Structure 1
């Protein structure tokens, strides 16, 4: 018999796959997130390194980081998302690896492998009860002193996904395993997310 976790994973893959196939993936901006663009174009942008993009979707953020010299691996549940990301990478002529994975299985394969983990609409997509496991995952993927670069959806709408979170809650989730470098409101969100995003940098302790 399949385990409860296996059944949940099959249901999750089906759910996200259907959203991509129906074109109802509201988190898909069709472009890199503007806060990441401005961050990487700034003078204080971090040096390139091995980078994981969790819940990468169709790969726009992953390709942005790859275009700046980062060695990027994007991970997503949905086969349609991975296929679209590979097509975008090929069309852009950018070398990026995209893998269909359950992110919660990645630590066995990529323990302490990455210099950076990129967060954008993955944290808000998982059930809130799994957030401590997400923090543990990010810690395990990063090398010592590696950084989480996160664009968090800090809305207060009922229900989800996307599930809302407050800046104070974000700090609390990551406090045990990470040093908070910054967590600030975003000024250049897309129109539909104005006033509902925070950009955070966390360094693995």
Structure 2
């Protein structure tokens, strides 16, 4: 497979070599909860849940959370965080490219999974997100802006892999997703990166995009 393997991530989590980890939930999650984008009672999938900060916050907010990671060490960190916080969620050690929910979900919180996958896997992942969500469901995405020095020469550098907004528009096509108009909130990361906060709505099968 192209890109990092499960053993790569397992070793990172076991060694505590997780420089992308904020050590706390993303501030954008609080904003989406305050705005009612994510609401109590919703079923929310968190792919690539890592240490589980956002999983615990969403569970405390009353969401029905399903957390996924294919590194057993990350799954254990999430379960430990839930035990410590007294919250409950479904936590699965699973490959996001293969996992299927029992029923269509209301929302997906996508923060660190897409940028951790090699771009060769992005199309398959985007198809998964569309399949997980019910029509009208929302994809709350934080698109990582981490353009490497070699990008101008065509090198694919990561993880994290740079999620250029033009690539994201091609990946999450307007024929399948309703895109809000820019500008998008830029969320600073302690490592000096930025994340673009975008909420996409899965279109009804009969809907047509208004433009290209």
Bucket of the pairwise TM-score, normalised by the shorter protein? 0.7 to 0.9
Say whether 1:144 aligns with 2:129: no
Match of 1:89 in 2: 82
TM-score by length of 2: 0.84
Cα deviation digits, residues 179-205 of structure 1 (max 9, x gap): 1135644344233245x2100111111
- Alignment RMSD (CA, Å): 1.9
Partner of 2:25: 32
Does residue 51 (structure 1) correspond to residue 62 (structure 2)? The answer is: no
Report the Cα offset of residue 70 of structure 1: 0.8
**SS in structure 1 of the partner of residue 17 of structure 2:** coil
Q: Give runs of ≥4 in structure 1 deviating > 6 Å.
A: none
8 Å CA contact 2:137–2:201 kept in 1: the answer is yes
SS in 2 for 1:134: helix
2:110 to 83, 100, 119: 119
Deviates more, 1:52-61 or 1:27-36: 27-36
Query: Partner residue of 1:173?
Result: 171
Equivalent pair of 2:187/2:197 in contact (CA under 8 Å): no
Q: How does 1:1-205 map to 2 (within 5 A)?
A: 8=1, 12-42=5-35, 44-48=36-40, 49-107=42-100, 110=101, 112-157=103-148, 158=150, 159-175=157-173, 176-181=175-180, 184-193=183-192, 196-205=194-203
- Whether the 8 Å CA contact 2:10–2:72 is kept in 1: the answer is yes
| Secondary structure class of the residue paired with 2:98 | helix
CA contact (8 A) 1:184 1:199 kept: no
Tell me the SS of whatever aligns to 2:99. Answer: helix
Aligned length: 193
Counterparts of 1:91 and 1:61, CA distance in 2: 14
Any stretches of 5+ residues in structure 1 without a counterpart? 1-7
Kindly indicate whether the alpha-carbon contact (under 8 Å) linking 1:182 and 1:202 is maintained by their aligned counterparts in 2: no
Q: Is the 8 A contact 1:117 1:142 kept in 2?
A: yes
Unaligned runs of 5+ in 2: 151-156, 204-212
Cα separation, 1, equivalents of 2:182 and 2:72: 32
TM-score, length-scaled by structure 1: 0.86
- In the other structure, the counterpart of 1:3 is none
